[in-house]
Amino acid sequence: MTQTLPCLHPNPGWTEAPAATTAAAPLPHQISETVGKHCILELYGCDSAKLDDEVFLRDTITAAAKRAGATLLNLITHRFEPQGVTGLALLAESHISIHTWPESGYAAVDVFTCGDHTMPEKACAVLAAELSANDHKLTSFRRETPPSIAESPRDPLQEQGFTAAVTL
């Protein structure tokens, strides 16, 4: 099933399911911890000039990250000769990437965010609108948390080599 941007829930997959009238236990295949959501976006019929404008794409990727509620850490782009741009935004929550083909009016976009405070579909909506896409295809799925991570306590500061000193 192809999803469209306007019909998507603002934060799909992150809300609790409605309470059932009977207290039935979930089936094993229904229990799933997620590490994040991954969106694959195909944009068709885009404005060719925008697809070839590196500065415009940098601004648009930045706006998309902000709209998704993500934290932009770094952004790298490269303009190819005679045309086309690739951009990669490193997010605290994961990444956004875009590859453009101005000669075809096409862009391939990848948005992956971790955590329940981000909404990658909103980043996709910004990119589709700003690139003036005539058509698009959005595929999104949840990335499952590996059991080795889900079952062990995690201290992000410790994993990054930081030590926290608490003084009371």
- What totals of helices (H) and strands (E) does the chain contain, helices first? 5, 6
Catalytic, out of 38, 39, 48, 114 = 114
Per DSSP, which regions of the chain are E strands? 34-44, 72-79, 85-91, 94-101, 106-114, 135-144
In this structure, are strands 135-144 and 106-114 parallel, antiparallel, or unpaired? unpaired
99 catalytic? Reply is yes
Q: Are the beta carbons of 133 and 45 closer than 8 angstroms?
A: yes
HSE value, Cβ hemisphere, 13 Å, CA-based, for 111: 29
94 catalytic? Reply is yes
Tokens describing residue 9: 């829930």
Cα–Cα distance for residue pair 53/85, rounded to 1 Å = 8
Q: Are the beta carbons of 128 and 8 closer than 8 angstroms?
A: no
Catalytic, out of 39, 46, 48, 94 = 94
Catalytic, out of 99, 132, 140, 148 = 99
124 catalytic? Reply is no
Which positions are catalytic? 94, 99, 114
